[in-house]
Amino acid sequence: MGEHPALPVGAVDVARDVLAVVAAGADAVHLHVKDERGDDTLDGPTLDTVLTAVRRSAPGVPIGVTTGAWALPDPDLRVAAVRSWGGLTARPDFASVNWHEEGADRVAAALLEIGVGVEAGLWHADGVRAWLASPYRDRCLRVLVELPGGLGAVAAEDEAARLLEMIGTHGDVLLHGEDESAWPALRMAGRLGLSTRIGLEDVLVLPDGRPAADNAELVRTARRLLEKA
């Protein structure tokens, strides 16, 4: 939470930030709902509070959330938490499931049971192989190819090309990266006509290395780069 002063945490701040990024050109949002300590949480009531505020602020904007195991490592508890979302006043439109994590198929099944779309988070080749073998592969809304930080532009594009080749024609693809991989991944997505995303979750600086003021500045910059691509 302390990585950037403009990182929104509470429901009011998240709703205000969503309104700003939509005005900057975002057509959907991916949220990491936080608890009172600022840690990611899958807690239903907390999710309900944040999503209700966001939907009031930006009605009609598709909202996605994470189901990352770092928020709730026990697969049984993670599945139970996701199932509890079925009783919420405000549910996400879609949620990302990281296929290298234990329990990914069960989490995906729980999301589909309550009518929430599944984004397949594929971080590396092992994750792609697990997803390709999954009975829920063809029921996913789209694939998220997520490149790690620490890669230069050439290495990031090479890794993206390798994963995209493995995925083949299975589903729509959203390509994005973290830290040093973020802007190369976005440019590559633009060239290939893929979906992409950007935000303080992924990168804290602009392409020229200057600190980004907030999520909205990242989105505006991304829009300009994509228009050039």
User: Is residue 20 situated within a structural domain?
Assistant: no
CA distance 221 to 24: 9
Q: Residue 70: count other Cβ atoms within 10 Å of its Cβ.
A: 11
Question: Do residues 212 and 218 make contact, with C-beta atoms less than 8 angstroms apart?
Answer: yes
**Domain that residue 186 falls in:** 67-228
pLDDT reading at 1 higher than 70: no
User: Is residue 41 situated within a structural domain?
Assistant: no
CATH number, position 154: 3.20.20.70
Q: What local confidence, expressed as pLDDT, does residue 6 receive?
A: 67
Nearest by Cα to 138 from 118, 121, 114: 118
pTM: 0.93
Task: Give pLDDT tens digits for 24-78.
Answer: 999 999 999 999 888 999 999 999 999 999 999 999 999 999 999 999 999 999 9
CA distance 123 to 105: 16
Can you say how many angstroms the Cα of residue 100 is from the centroid of all Cα atoms in its chain? 15
User: Is residue 9 situated within a structural domain?
Assistant: no
What's the mean per-residue pLDDT of the chain? 94
| Ramachandran sector of residue 73 (left: φ over 0; alpha: ψ -120 to 50; beta: rest) | alpha
Task: Give pLDDT tens digits for 169-210.
Answer: 777 999 999 999 999 999 999 999 999 999 998 999 999 999
Number of structural domains, the chain?
A: 1
